């Protein structure tokens, strides 16, 4: 299946909705519109021409493990060399360690392209960027000098080693141990599972960031430390040195992302160094984890875009039956299936979910940039709060959306979607993991309720709702946008009421937290996308009134916004009703009565 980066829509989001040039001026990184567009065009050529052709073969070939060494699918090593040599790996890295300092607002578009072209390929490099963030923020100068430049360049890759057989979400159950040594290092012993890119043949070295317990650590998550444990210990001159006492014991055989090595990693007294302070590993890891969760959200978006592209191409070509209003193409033996209302429903659902999510990704990426780069501390703090609020929504909603859009793609293809030849079933299999790793979507929903809504009594969410209410206020008196703005404004009012009801209900019964969390996250996401679609419609209306050209593009934005508000946003009502159903009906059935 071919992949063509949606550059026009990306430029619309970047320049017309979020003023990427002004954003870059504020951050002081020297990027302008011409450079941004040039980079994205080159990224489109690389992902479409070099990466996408590897996707199907990687699924069929998979990875192999022989004598502790993992061999990646054919073409991955060469494509990764291009990735490093052409500077893609260093795109977001700090400039003082050889990075290019691109903001997430821009880089996230390239990352979406990678996800859409081949998720398996992207997995090897994805966690390296998170490792750079964690080491840059928390590592000692000695560790930074030894490892950061190589990680930033991509010559060395990084992993995140959390999960153990008995400790998935509940990190308090970790058993991996780290023993202090006289030279200030530690010996790390234990096993980790589900480690993406834990072993492979694409980079010179692999730097593992490992959660472990020191001998005197307190119980629970307050006793977890983060250690840097490289495959090869760095020499004084920065080259890979002695092989460390760690190995890949097995690779998982999975339903999807078969070209990505998912490893069991064994640490047998491996040498490592604490990153940050002892027993503060979870805080350090969350620096990496928030980036990883945002990136996983982009995985859902990238796969969804690819699924939509395939569905649209097939719907335009596949001839079946005549349109319900009569023949639309009488010169052909049948009409293309895109004329049928139900196929239109599926395609427009795909289109509006994908494009709406791309807008939300940009909004979130902008907050991540401001959190680290705004010149004013107060703005950095505000952006940090907003990004924290959005991360669980982006991770959970985008990955649920990716699975839905891929499933709709299979449906558009009919029986052909169920067989390997067309590639759609691979997208559905590949996307399924995104709902699970970096914290299942149920965990994201709990985070959204417990830490983000209840953590401050709803203050940040209320401020967020007010921002979108102001968007409605600015558009509601425009005749062309009055109905749209009114619908969105009503939903925002409903969102406020629902938030207050949830805060009250969870105060009475803590079981309500888990009972309403998934539905409240989904409700919030659908309303949030409605607000963004209103902004897109406003920009499109401005362009049409100004006669700025590309009338078909802007009319399509207005039509898409109208479809979303009429046919997708009503899903929020079902989630609202489920929330009002409460926890009692979930907990009333005794456990013994689940028997069959």
Question: Looking at the annotation, which residues are catalytic?
Answer: 438
Task: Assign 3-state DSSP to the chain and report helix, strand, coil percentages, each to 5.
Answer: 65, 10, 25
* CA–CA gap between residue 533 and residue 537 (Å, rounded): 6
Beta partners for residue 248, in sequence order: 265
Spatial separation of the C-alpha atoms in residues 260 and 242, rounded to whole Å: 26
Which run of H or of E encompasses 157?
A: strand 156-161
Residue pair 426/501 in contact by the 8 Å Cβ criterion:
no
Burial code (b: 16+ CB inside 10 Å, e: under 16) for 412-446 equals bbeeebeeeebbbbbbbbbbbbbbebbbbbbbbbb
CA-nearest of 477, 467, 468 to 541 is: 477
Nearest one of 249, 248, 411 to 314, comparing CA atoms: 411
Listed in order, strand segments (DSSP E) in 201-280 are: 205-212, 225-230, 232-234, 240-243, 246-251, 262-275
Q: How many CB atoms lie within 10 A of CB 460?
A: 17
Those residues with Cβ within 8 angstroms of residue 448's Cβ, 6 or more apart along the chain or in another chain: 389, 392, 393, 396, 517, 520, 521, 524
How far the first Cα of the chain sits from its last, in Å, is 44
Helix/strand/coil for 327: coil
> Which residue has tokens 């998934």?
518
Report d(CA 404, CA 571) in Å as an integer: 14
SS3 73: coil
As a whole number of angstroms, the distance between CA 62 and CA 146 comes to 33
C-beta separation of 44 from 5 below 8 A: yes
* Euclidean distance between CA atoms 508 and 81, whole angstroms: 57
List the structure tokens of 111: 């990352």
Closest CA to 267 of 317, 221, 321, 208: 208
Residue from 194, 263, 178, 280 nearest 229 by CA = 178
CB 107 within 8 A of CB 91: yes
Distance CA(363)–CA(368), nearest Å, equals 9
314: left (phi over 0), alpha (psi -120 to 50) or beta: alpha
Place of tokens 């990427």: 20
CA 493 to chain centre: 28
Cα 89 to chain centroid distance, Å, stands at 17
The enclosing H or E element of 179 equals strand 177-180
Alpha carbon distance 32, 25 (integer Å): 8
Q: 520 is written with which tokens?
A: 């409240």
Closest to 534 measured CA to CA, from 367, 373, 352, 408: 352
């Amino acid at each position: 299946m071919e992949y063509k980066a949606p550059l026009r829509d990306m430029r619309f989001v970047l320049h017309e909705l979020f003023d990427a040039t002004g954003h870059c001026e504020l951050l002081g990184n020297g990027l302008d519109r011409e450079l941004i567009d040039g980079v994205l065009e080159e990224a489109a050529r690389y992902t479409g021409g070099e990466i996408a052709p590897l996707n199907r073969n990687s699924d069929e070939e998979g990875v192999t493990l022989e004598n502790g060494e993992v061999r990646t699918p054919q073409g991955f090593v060469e494509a990764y060399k291009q990735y490093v040599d052409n500077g893609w790996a260093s795109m977001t890295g700090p400039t003082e360690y050889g990075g290019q300092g691109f903001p997430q607002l821009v880089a996230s578009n390239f990352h979406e392209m990678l996800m859409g072209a081949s998720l398996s390929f992207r997995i090897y490099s994805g966690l390296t960027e998170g490792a750079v963030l964690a080491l840059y923020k928390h590592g000692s100068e000695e560790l930074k000098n030894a490892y950061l430049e190589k990680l930033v360049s991509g010559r060395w890759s990084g992993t995140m080693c959390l999960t153990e057989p008995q400790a998935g979400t509940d990190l308090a159950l970790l058993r991996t141990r780290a023993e202090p040594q006289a030279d200030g290092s530690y010996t790390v012993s234990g096993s980790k599972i589900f480690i993406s890119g834990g072993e492979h043949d694409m980079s010179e070295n692999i730097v593992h960031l490992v959660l472990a317990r020191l001998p005197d650590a307190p119980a629970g998550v307050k006793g977890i430390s983060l250690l840097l444990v490289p495959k090869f210990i760095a020499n004084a001159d920065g080259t890979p040195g002695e092989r460390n006492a760690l190995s890949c014991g097995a690779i998982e055989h999975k339903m999807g992302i078969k070209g990505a090595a998912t490893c069991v990693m064994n640490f047998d007294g491996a040498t490592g160094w604490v990153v940050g302070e002892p027993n503060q590993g979870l805080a350090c890891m969350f620096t990496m984890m928030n980036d990883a969760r945002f990136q996983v959200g982009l995985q859902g978006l990238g796969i969804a875009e690819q699924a939509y592209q395939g569905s649209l191409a097939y719907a335009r070509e596949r001839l079946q039956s005549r349109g319900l209003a009569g023949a639309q193409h009488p010169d052909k033996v049948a009409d293309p299936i895109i004329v049928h209302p139900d196929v239109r429903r599926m395609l427009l659902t795909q289109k509006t979910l994908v494009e709406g999510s791309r807008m939300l990704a940009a909004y979130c990426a902008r907050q991540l940039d401001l959190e680290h780069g705004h010149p004013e501390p107060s703005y950095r703090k505000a952006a940090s709060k907003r990004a924290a609020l959005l991360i669980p929504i982006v991770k959970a909603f985008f990955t649920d959306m990716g699975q839905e859009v891929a499933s709709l793609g299979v449906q558009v293809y009919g029986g052909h979607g169920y067989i390997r030849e067309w590639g759609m079933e691979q997208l559905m299999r590949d996307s399924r993991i995104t709902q699970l790793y970096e914290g299942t979507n149920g965990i994201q929903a709990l985070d959204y309720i417990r830490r983000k809504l209840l953590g401050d009594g709803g203050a940040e969410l209320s401020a967020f709702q007010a921002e979108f209410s102001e968007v409605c206020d600015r558009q509601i008196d425009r005749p062309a946008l009055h109905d749209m703005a009114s619908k969105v404004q009503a939903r925002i009012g409903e969102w406020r009421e629902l938030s207050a009801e949830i805060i009250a209900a969870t105060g009475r019964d803590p079981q309500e937290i888990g009972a309403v969390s998934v539905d409240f996250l989904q409700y919030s996401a659908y309303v949030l996308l409605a607000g963004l679609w209103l902004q897109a419609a406003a920009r499109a209306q401005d362009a049409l009134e100004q006669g700025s050209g590309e009338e078909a593009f802007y009319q399509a934005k207005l039509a898409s916004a109208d479809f979303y508000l009429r046919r997708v946003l009503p899903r929020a009502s079902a989630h609202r009703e489920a929330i009002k159903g409460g926890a009692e009906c979930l907990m009333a059935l005794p456990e013994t009565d689940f028997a069959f």
